[in-house]
A and B are shown apart, each in its own frame.
Chain A
Amino acid sequence: MSQTAEKEANSSAMQVSDEVAIEIRNMNKWYGDFHVLKDINLTVNRGERIVVCGPSGSGKSTLIRCINRLEEHQKGDIIVDGTELSSDLKNIDKIRSEVGMCFQHFNLFPHLTILENCTLAPIWVRKTPKKEAEEIAMHFLEKVKIPEQALKYPGQLSGGQQQRVAIARSLCMKPRIMLFDEPTSALDPEMIAEVLDTMIELAEEGMTMICVTHEMGFARKVANRVIFMDAGQIVEQNEPEEFFNNPKSERTQLFLSQILGH
Chain B
Amino acid sequence: MSDQSYVRTEMLSEQPAPLGETGVIKWMRENLFSSLGNSILSLLALALVIFIGAELLPWAIQPSWSSGSLRQCIDDPNITGACWGVIRDRFNQLLFGFYPQEEQWRPILAFFMMLTAVAPVLFDKLPRKMVWFSALYPFIGVWLLWGGTIWGPLMVVAGFIIGYFAHKFLTGVVGELAAMIVALLATIIWWLYGAGPVAEMLSAAMPIGIPAIESSKFGGLMLSITIGVSGIALSLPIGIMLALGRQSDMFIIKVLSVGFIEFIRGVPLITLLFVASVLLNFFLPPGTNFDLILRVIIMVTIFAAAYMAEVIRGGLAALPTGQYEAADALGLDYWQSMRLIIMPQALKISIPGIVGTFIGLFKDTTLVSIIGLLDPVGLIGTIQGSGDWNGIVWELNMFIALMFWVFTFSMSRYSMYLENKLKTTH
Residues of A within 8 A of B348 (CB): 111
A249 at the interface (CB under 8 A from B): no
User: What residue of chain A has the Cβ atom nearest to residue B347's Cβ?
Assistant: A111
Picked from B329, B336, B424, the residue with its CB within 8 Å of the CB of A111 is B424
Decide yes or no: A97 and B331 within 8 Å by CB, A105-B322, A120-B340 being known contacts: yes
Decide yes or no: A111 and B345 within 8 Å by CB, A103-B322, A153-B425, A156-B426 being known contacts: yes
Residues of B within 8 A of A101 (CB): 329
Query: Whole-angstrom distance from the CB of A181 to the nearest CB of chain B?
Result: 10
B344 touches A111 (CB 8 A): yes
Interface residues on B, range: 20 to 34
Residues of B within 8 A of A110 (CB): 345, 424-425
Decide yes or no: A70 and B328 within 8 Å by CB, A93-B333, A107-B322, A124-B340 being known contacts: yes
Residues of A within 8 A of B336 (CB): 124-125
Residues of A within 8 A of B344 (CB): 111
Mark each residue of chain A from 91 to 125: 1 if its CB lies under 8 Å from any CB of chain B, else 0. 00110110111010101111100000000110011
B325 at the interface (CB under 8 A from A): yes
A155 at the interface (CB under 8 A from B): yes
B46 at the interface (CB under 8 A from A): no
User: What residue of chain A has the Cβ atom nearest to residue B321's Cβ?
Assistant: A107
User: What residue of chain B has the Cβ atom nearest to residue A94's Cβ?
Assistant: B331
Main secondary structure of the interface of B (DSSP, over half): helix
Interface centre among B325, B326, B327, B341 (most CB of A within 10 A): B326
A68 at the interface (CB under 8 A from B): yes
In the complex, A202→B252 CA distance in Å?
46
User: What residue of chain A has the Cβ atom nearest to residue B330's Cβ?
Assistant: A121
Residues of B within 8 A of A96 (CB): 328-331
Main secondary structure of the interface of A (DSSP, over half): mixed
Residues of B within 8 A of A153 (CB): 424-425
In the complex, A97→B337 CA distance in Å?
14
A109 touches B328 (CB 8 A): no
25 pairs of residues in contact across A and B, judged by CB atoms under 8 Å: A68-B329, A96-B328, A96-B329, A96-B331, A97-B331, A99-B329, A101-B329, A103-B325, A105-B322, A108-B326, A109-B326, A109-B327, A111-B344, A111-B348, A111-B422, A111-B424, A120-B330, A121-B330, A124-B332, A125-B332, A153-B424, A153-B425, A155-B425, A155-B426, A156-B425
Nearest 8 pairs of A and B residues by beta carbon: A97-B331, A155-B425, A107-B326, A107-B322, A121-B330, A153-B424, A96-B331, A101-B329
Chain A residues engaging chain B, CB cutoff 8 angstroms = 68, 70, 93-94, 96-97, 99-101, 103, 105, 107-111, 120-121, 124-125, 153-156, 169-170, 173
